[in-house]
Amino acid sequence: MEVTLKDKERLDDLGRNGYRIIQNKEKFCFGMDAVLLSDFARVKKGENVLDIGTGTGIIPILMESRFPFGTYTGLDIQEESIEMAVRSVALNGLSNKINMVTGDIKEAVSIFGTASFQVITTNPPYMTGNHGLVNENQQKAIARHEICCTLEDILSNSARLLQEHGRFYMVHRPFRLAEILSACVKYKLEPKRIRFVHSYVNKEPAMVLIEALKGGNSRVKVEPPLIIYKDVNVYTDEIYDIYGYER
C-alpha cells in the first residue's frame, strides 16, 4: 500500500517484515528506548496488548513483527500522533491487528474497561517538571516531560487495566528507579525482571527496562546488562541483532 506523506513527513524502514513508519522530523521521533522495550517485552498467543503513550505507534508495530499472534492497541492523548500511527498501521497492512485510540490514560478504564489486557507496554515521559528545560515544541514536551500524565497515573491505571497476573513492561531512566519500584509495589505490580542499558561497558546505565507482574510474589531478577556500543559508533552484536542489522 502506498501512502501520501504530508509536509515534512518521512517514511522510515523498520527492518522488520518490510514494515515502515511515518514520522515528522519536526515532531517527536522514536528512539532506541522504544526499540529496546519492544525487544524486552513478551507476548503470548492470543493476548491483548496495550501500549500507553504510543506516539506514532512504533512499539505496537515492532511488537506485532515479533509476536504476530497478539492483538495490539495504542493509546495516546495527541490526536496528531494517532492520525500518523493509523496511517502507518494501514500502510503495513495491520489494521486488523493494531487499533489506535486517542485518549487520556487517566480515562483509559472508562475507554477499555477494567482488566481488559494481559500485557501493557509504555515508554513514558522521563522527566518531571523539575527535570531540565521543557521543549518549546508541544509534542516533544509532552513526550519528554510529565505534562499530561505522571508516573503515578500510568502505574495506577495500568494496574486497573491489567488482568490478574498480567505483565507490565516499561523503559525509563535509572535515576527514578527507587520511585518506580516503590510505586509498582504500591499498585501491586510486582517487579520481576530488571535490565540496565549502558552506552559503553564502563559507563553508568542510561536506561532501565522493567517487567512487573500484577499480583505477583516478591522476587526480582536483575538480568545481565545490555551494552549499546563496543567502540565509538560501533554497536555490540546484541544491538545489531535487536535491530536486525547486518554486521
Q: Which domains does the chain have, with CATH numbers?
A: 9-243 (3.40.50.150)
Note the pTM of the prediction, 2 decimals: 0.91
- 120 with 162: CB under 8 angstroms? yes
- Enumerate residue ranges in the chain where pLDDT < 70: 1, 127-148, 246-247
Q: What is the pLDDT of residue 232?
A: 94
pLDDT digits (tens, 9 = 90+) for 137-152: 445 444 454 446 899 9
Q: Beta strand pairing status for 205-214 and 162-172? A: antiparallel
pLDDT digits (tens, 9 = 90+) for 83-103: 999 999 999 999 999 999 999
